[in-house]
Amino acid sequence: MKNLFLSGATALMFPAFSMSVFAEERVLSIGGSITEIVFALGEQDRLIARDTTSSFPAVVEDLPDVGYMRALSPEGVLSVDPTLIIAEEGSGPFETIEVLEGANIPFVTIPDGFDRAAVATKIQAVAQALGVPDKGAQLAAEVDAQLAALDTNVDAPSRVMFILSTQGGRIMASGTDTAADGIIALAGGINAVTGFEGYKPLTDEAVTLAAPDVIVMMTSDGDHGSADQELWSHPAISTTPAAQTQSLVRINGLLLLGFGPRTPEAAATLHSALYGEG
């Protein structure tokens, strides 16, 4: 099995989806942004399955679901008989990848990145894996032009805290080198939390010191969800400027954090929410 690591209007219109696939190729897409790119390239007829995070466009949910990208089982993947797997960086676990290696299924890992250049790189890498580099170059150029055209400069940038979850009353927030950090920057904001990389729980003192003007969360239920009143009544959150003005923005997680073809839409949506423009 090959384990390859490739670098390389706001809303997008996707071609009509057909359940037919090429007999000689059966593509499994792992990662919501990867699946979006396959559709945006017009190569969706080659898909035979997807992972749980792949939910856009909605019609993709008609395909079999092999499970969560970071908790894949060999049985789930092999049950759809793929001949090519294209996966976001971080897919796994490693033990599952080892089993797939033994099955000689090409497994292409697409690198993540959280800035304008990374979006183009990701699109071109997926296109290369699919053997349609010209389509990838065209789509990457179109999306990059949309990002370049965004006017997100402001005189007084908002301090933004992205909260991943509030499970158990603990604030899990984004530091640097994350999709949340990247989209905040693209939208013209400033990440209020810069003392660490990745997503980590914050102490109450750290939340107060971060002093966010706005809190951003995903629109989701379960562990990542939190009702507005529950959020504002949190002892630490209640001390922030965001709580004083009840400035909370909720955006679909895949749109906001995907860093795929819809990133211009995500940046424009967040910018408008932060500054009341558009």
What residues does each domain of the chain span? 3-148, 159-275
- What architecture does CATH give domain 159-275? 3-Layer(aba) Sandwich (3.40)
User: Which residues have C-beta within 8 Å of that of residue 190, sequence separation ≥ 6?
Assistant: 157, 158, 159, 160, 184
pLDDT tens for 232-275 read 999 999 999 999 999 999 999 999 999 999 999 999 999 999 99
- Higher-pLDDT residue of 14, 135: 135
pLDDT tens for 97-150 read 899 888 999 999 999 999 999 999 999 999 999 999 999 999 999 999 999 999
| pLDDT of 49 over the 50 cut | yes
Region 48-62: what's the mean pLDDT? 97
End-to-end C-alpha distance for the chain, whole angstroms = 49
User: Which residues have C-beta within 8 Å of that of residue 177, sequence separation ≥ 6?
Assistant: 114, 197, 198
Confidence (pLDDT) at 227: 82
Check if the beta carbon of residue 257 is closer than 8 Å to that of residue 53. no
Check if the beta carbon of residue 54 is closer than 8 Å to that of residue 35. yes
Confidence (pLDDT) at 143: 98
Residue 153 has phi, psi (to 5 degrees) of: -75, 135
Give just the sign of the alpha carbon dihedral 20, 21, 26, 27.
negative
User: What is the pLDDT confidence band of residue 221, given thresholds at 50, 70 and 90?
Assistant: low
Confidence (pLDDT) at 197: 97
CATH numeric code, 3-148? 3.40.50.1980
| pLDDT of 277 over the 90 cut | no
Region 222-232: what's the mean pLDDT? 73
Find, among 28, 20, 74, the residue nearest to 51 by Cα.
Answer: 28
Both structure tokens of 54:
């792949």
pLDDT tens for 69-83 read 999 999 999 999 999
Check if the beta carbon of residue 168 is closer than 8 Å to that of residue 192. no
Helix (H, G, I), strand (E, B) or coil at 200: strand
* Cα-to-chain-centroid distance, residue 37: 12
- Exposure letters 71-98 (e unless 16+ CB within 10 A, then b): ebeeebbeebebbbbbbbeebbeeebbe
Are domains 3-148 and 159-275 of this chain identical in fold? yes
Give just the sign of the alpha carbon dihedral 54, 252, 123, 197.
negative
- Higher-pLDDT residue of 102, 201: 201
Check if the beta carbon of residue 265 is closer than 8 Å to that of residue 251. no
Which pTM does this prediction carry? 0.89
| pLDDT of 173 over the 80 cut | yes
Question: What integer best gives the mean pLDDT of the chain?
Answer: 90
Give the number of C-alpha atoms closer than 13 A to the C-alpha of residue 212, restricted to the C-beta side: 32
Taking the C-alpha atoms of residue 228 and residue 241, their distance in angstroms, rounded to an integer, is 15
- Quick check: bond before 157 cis, omega within 30? no
Residue 215: DSSP 8-state: E
- Quick check: bond before 212 cis, omega within 30? no
